[in-house]
Amino acid sequence: MGVEHIHYLLPKDHAFQPSPQQLEKLIAGLYNGSWLCRPDSAGFSQLDFSCSCDFELARKTGGFRREPQTKDCESIPYPATSEWFAARLPADLLLIWPIYGFEKCRSLRYPFDQSVGEETEIYFEIQLQIAENYLHRVSEIIDPLSNVDCKCGASLEFYADGGPFFNGRIHKNCPECGTLFDPGDVFAVCRDVWTGIETEVAGGATSCFALAIDCGKAIPNIDSETAIRIHPDLKKLVEETLGVMFYELGDIY
């Protein structure tokens, strides 16, 4: 089966949720920086949208909104406007731009700060994960937060019915007393994907927003001294556009 890799760019302000205007600006920046392929460009015809039935929704515009549990899927318009986001927020949104056939689309930049290796097929998805409450991302690599209770004693963890995410949730504000819960005040043990070295990370991979690069089995080249990292230009774009500092975590599935 092999290992598949997803890499998260997470806000240090774990409660951060971008506004519709910020999302419009960020997506425009991803196109202007050649991280996404404009559907009116010559390179767009080189991308392959036949790998999944969901990808058919991205065939015209490059991206789609996934709602696997409710079947509420739709294309992301190009250009994506603040009005489009305002009509859908604050509901949870999973936005995906599948990049299959990257090696044929010369105008695109690779989102990792590594070489792409010698694979005959390079593919990945650029995702924006937006949630009304915290997504409590856990795996064999990322442990749960050490404490998910409010100071008043109420448990904040819950599971949502439907929606685009299968992660457990943590209430952003306590349903009993209304206090804002800050995941950054507690820690999660996270293991390096490749070495297994453990580190305590404030907030773990818990957030209301993330930019994720899901590269499946098309993992970039690494060695014993180099960890997979988001390209610094891409990280800078996200931080400067949204006005928030970010950190990275990798995961496997």
β-strand pairing of 246-252 with 5-11: antiparallel
Peptide bond into 79 cis (omega under 30): yes
Q: What are phi and psi of 46, to 5 degrees?
A: -85, -15
Owner of token pair 């008043």: 152
Q: When comparing pLDDT for 106 and 233, which is higher? A: 233
The tens digit of pLDDT for each residue in 49-81 reads 998 888 989 999 999 998 755 556 899 999 999
Q: Strands 157-158, 168-170: parallel, antiparallel or unpaired by DSSP? A: antiparallel
d(CA 110, CA 139): 26
Is it the case that residue 41 has pLDDT exceeding 60?
A: yes
User: In the prediction, which pLDDT does 1 show?
Assistant: 47
Backbone angles phi, psi at 56, to 5 degrees: -60, -30
DSSP letter string, 155-209: B-EE--SSSS--SEEE-SB-TTT-PBP-GGGSEEEEE-TTT--EEEEETTT-EEE
Q: Single out the residue of 78, 81, 101, 94 nearest to residue 128, CA to CA.
A: 94
pLDDT single digits (tens) 187-240: 999 998 777 889 999 999 999 999 999 999 988 876 655 678 999 999 999 999
Q: Which among 55, 161, 40, 163 is positioned nearest to 107, based on CA atoms?
A: 40
pLDDT of residue 120: 63
Residue 207 and residue 181 in contact, taking contact as beta carbons nearer than 8 Å: no
Q: Please give the pLDDT value at position 52.
A: 86
- Give the C-alpha separation, 75 to 53, whole Å: 13
pLDDT at 77: 96
- Across 2-23, average pLDDT: 95
Cα separation, 158 vs 168, whole angstroms: 6
Instruction: Tell me the Cα Rg of the chain.
Output: 18
In this prediction, residues 123-145 reach a mean pLDDT of: 97
pLDDT score at 192: 85
Q: Report the alpha-carbon distance of residue 135 to residue 137 in Å, rounded.
A: 6
Q: Are 5 and 252 in contact (CB under 8 A)?
A: yes
Structure tokens belonging to residue 223: 């060695």
